Structure 1
Amino acid sequence: MKFFMILFLLGIPTVAPVMYSLKYFYTSSSGIPNFPEFVVVVLVNEVQIIHYDSNTKRAVPKQEWMNKITEDDPRFWEEETNMLNSNELTSKVNIAIVKQRFKRTEGPHIVQRMSGCEWDDKTYKINGFEQYGYDGEDFLVLNMTTETWIAPRQEAVITTNNLNNNKAQLAYFKFYYTKECTDWLKKFLYYGKCPLMRKDLPSVSLLQKTPSSPLTCHATGFYPDRAQMFWKKDEEELHEDVVRGEILPNHDGSFQMSVDLDLSGLKDEDWGRYSCVFQLAGVQEDVITPLDKRVILTNWREKRSSVDGFPTAAVVGAVVAVLLLLAGCITGLFLLWRRNSHGFRCANSSESSPPPGEDPAVKKETSERQTMLESRGLTETRLSSSDEH
């Protein structure tokens, strides 16, 4: 699978068991005008929390709640910046080596690195991952199960041979991505637990443009984006005559999605057998909307008639517009009320529960932070160090 496609596929929602994730994306580039040569983006549950680039040379928080981390670790941002400064220098060496391997020294080139871990707080399952890509294609992949590096391209064989001969380093990588990485994930979840771990169900509507148009089941206002929606007949999910839309962001940080159903072959007596189903990861109860002609919102009229010369259709259209406006206001107020009454209020830091599996009395030691810095710095230098043997 192409590396750039993997980056997009990471955002594909699913209602499989909820996996909390911590992901680091490093992008090194050369020959690209008006673009930083080195960019780092850190995500928790697909939400960006840290940004660094070679223009600003500073690690900065991308979420307000990330500033709370200095309460326990006052030097966090200073150390994060120093670590990424070092990685930036190493990245220049790495991209030069890879260009030589491919014998493509001219023109624009990009080396990408993705690393991190996923953790399920119900099953305690942990997945660690790390891989490199060059110009949109896989270059190196670390197999955590076998503790070996894999070379998807012939140009990476030299590097994988050197890396696979260092058994101590491989063992430490596995320890880091299955233990230390998840410890950091839990800490970040602790500081941002209100916005990151909340679950909001959507408002669902049935929409249709014209009598011959597909019927759209539209859900909006849900969070997080790990969700799916489908049509079913009786208790069987439909795959034919159905078009699924992608999940899109709303301006308030929530999400929306839709799924269309072709009604052209649907008999009137079968309407009651159809329903639209919305499922949100981590929420057991589905949002089910039966197919009902009476609740479909539309901008068409079946009949145009007049009584004593009065344009009835115009009046009906105006009434429908007012009703739709009122429905939108009521929906907005309902969503606001639900958010304020179902866990949107975060407790004060003194009242907050500790990170999963962590004793609040136990402070993070300086050595723990240093270990993480050393381990992340080590992984960033591997491309250059491998060629020195």
Structure 2
Amino acid sequence: MTVRCALCRCSARSLVVDIYIFLIICFPVPLCLMHSYKFFYTASSEVPNFPEFVIVGMVDDIQAGYYDSNIKRVELKQDWMKKVTEDEAEYWEWLTERAVDHQQWFKVTLDILKRRFNQTGGVHIVQMMVGCEWDDETEDFIALDMKTWTWVAPQQQAVFIKQEWDKDKARIEYHKNYLTKDCVDWLKKFVNYGRSSLMRTDLPTVSLLQKTPSSRVTCHATGFYPNRAMMFWRKDGEELHEDVDKGEILPNHDGSFQISADLQLPSDDWGKYDCVFQLSGVKEDIVTKLDKREIKTNYVNPMNTVIPIIAIIAALVLLGLAVIGYKKYRGRRRRLV
């Protein structure tokens, strides 16, 4: 098992903005392949109208708790979390105390990083995520070897952090206890408390969308849960890799998720193509045939608006001529009388 950290630094020189992002991910037991328990810590300086320190707690990518330096307390974001409060009240007191401690630690860490990278003014952000989750794609900045319980620095810029963190035996012992026991124990409890919500399966609404007649066709699925899903295009039953852009799974405001996949317009028979949506735990795929009659669009043909406009202009011109003719006719009648 390892705890991995990644640091990404990007800067906008004209705005004097440098962002430092730490990502800590733990891989304790196979249970985490199915569920996740994560905390997102964000410390910042000189960000207008934003707390200097924020913690967001997530269970299976659903926000379960929140803390910031303004309110200075943990707030529950799910009804089923109230059951946790009833049974484990001391946990939330301990969590609030830890949040205050983390707030001070992040402030010191942010100051150290600014000095190390010769940064002073401007917006700076340090963000860390810690919890039980599997991720094998993150590039390491610094890693904790859970066999020797020492930090490993793959990058030169991380050496100074390794040296400082290796000295902090108390923090290493805390990580050791949390990552091998507490994280998994609490994950199991949260999944049990929120079973009716976290263990549900919601099928999506799948639609075919297109901006213009010449643009790509988008297969869009929304309203599904959980977020373990896949979407792809097929031709003659074979998955397509070329001419296809797959989107990421994104959250909806109601706790469900959405995903999309774009297909370049086929030059051959559209009947050969279909969109496939797969949801973890559901045996049957949702297959949507590529049919022009089923595509939804907000596109309006310009000619459909030009012709009515021309007709209106012509009618106004005729009306104007009729008014002018009528006035001339009345003028002649007055002279005859």
User: What TM-score, normalized to structure 2?
Assistant: 0.68
2:206 is the alignment partner of 1:204: yes
Q: Is the 8 A contact 1:3 1:138 kept in 2?
A: no
1:43 is aligned to: 58
Match of 1:3 among 4, 8, 14: 8
1:78 is aligned to: 93
Q: How does 1:37-116 map to 2 (within 5 A)?
A: 37-116=52-131
1:291 is aligned to: 290
Kindly provide the CA deviation profile for residues 131-190 of structure 1, in whole angstroms up to 9, marking residues without a partner as x: 9xxxxx986432446643133554542331354467786466344313221111111111
Match of 2:240 among 238, 241, 258: 238
CA distance in 2, matches of 1:234, 1:172: 55
Q: Is the 8 A contact 2:52 2:69 kept in 1?
A: yes
Kindly provide the CA deviation profile for residues 101-136 of structure 1, in whole angstroms up to 9, marking residues without a partner as x: 334344432232221113xxxxxxxx599x9xxxxx
Change (3 A) 1:290 1:155: closer
2:272 is aligned to: 273
Q: Is the 8 A contact 2:271 2:289 kept in 1?
A: yes
CA distance in 2, matches of 1:295, 1:112: 44
Change (3 A) 1:159 1:297: closer
Q: Is the 8 A contact 1:128 1:177 kept in 2?
A: no
Change (3 A) 1:155 1:249: closer
Kindly provide the CA deviation profile for residues 250-283 of structure 1, in whole angstroms up to 9, marking residues without a partner as x: 443323333232334113xxx4432210012333
CA distance in 1, matches of 2:178, 2:94: 18
Q: Is the 8 A contact 2:63 2:78 kept in 1?
A: yes
Could you tell me the percent identity over the aligned residues? 56
2:16 is aligned to: none
Could you say what secondary structure the match of 1:55 adopts? coil
CA distance in 2, matches of 1:209, 1:37: 41
Residue 4 of structure 1 and its aligned partner are, at CA, apart by 7.3
Change (3 A) 1:52 1:172: closer
CA distance in 2, matches of 1:116, 1:140: 16
CA distance in 1, matches of 2:61, 2:108: 29
Q: Is the 8 A contact 2:22 2:128 kept in 1?
A: no
Q: How does 1:248-327 map to 2 (within 5 A)?
A: 248-267=250-269, 271-292=270-291, 295-297=294-296
Q: Which runs of 5+ in 2 are unaligned?
A: 1-5, 11-20, 26-31, 301-337
Q: Which amino acid aligns with 2:256?
A: S
Q: Which amino acid aligns with 1:42?
A: G
User: What TM-score, normalized to structure 1?
Assistant: 0.60
Q: Which runs of 5+ in 1 are unaligned?
A: 11-16, 119-126, 132-136, 302-389
2:311 is aligned to: none
2:180 is the alignment partner of 1:178: yes
Q: Is the 8 A contact 1:30 1:37 kept in 2?
A: yes
Length, aligned pairs only: 279
Root-mean-square deviation (Å): 3.7
1:220 is aligned to: 222
Kindly provide the CA deviation profile for residues 322-362 of structure 1, in whole angstroms up to 9, marking residues without a partner as x: xxxxxxxxxxxxxxxxxxxxxxxxxxxxxxxxxxxxxxxxx
The answer to which structure has the higher strand fraction is 2
Kindly provide the CA deviation profile for residues 72-107 of structure 1, in whole angstroms up to 9, marking residues without a partner as x: 123333332222122223333333333333343444
CA distance in 2, matches of 1:128, 1:165: 28
Relative to structure 2, which stretch is displaced further, 204-213 or 251-260? 204-213
Kindly provide the CA deviation profile for residues 212-245 of structure 1, in whole angstroms up to 9, marking residues without a partner as x: 4433323222112332211112232112222334
CA distance in 2, matches of 1:168, 1:299: 60
CA distance in 1, matches of 2:215, 2:265: 8
Q: Is the 8 A contact 2:218 2:261 kept in 1?
A: yes
Q: Which amino acid aligns with 1:261?
A: L
CA distance in 1, matches of 2:53, 2:298: 50
Q: Is the 8 A contact 2:245 2:262 kept in 1?
A: yes
1:344 is aligned to: none
Q: Which amino acid aligns with 1:285?
A: E
Could you say what secondary structure the match of 2:89 adopts? coil
1:149 is aligned to: 151
Could you say what secondary structure the match of 1:92 adopts? helix
Residue 22 of structure 1 and its aligned partner are, at CA, apart by 1.1
Q: Which amino acid aligns with 1:182?
A: V
Larger radius of gyration: 2
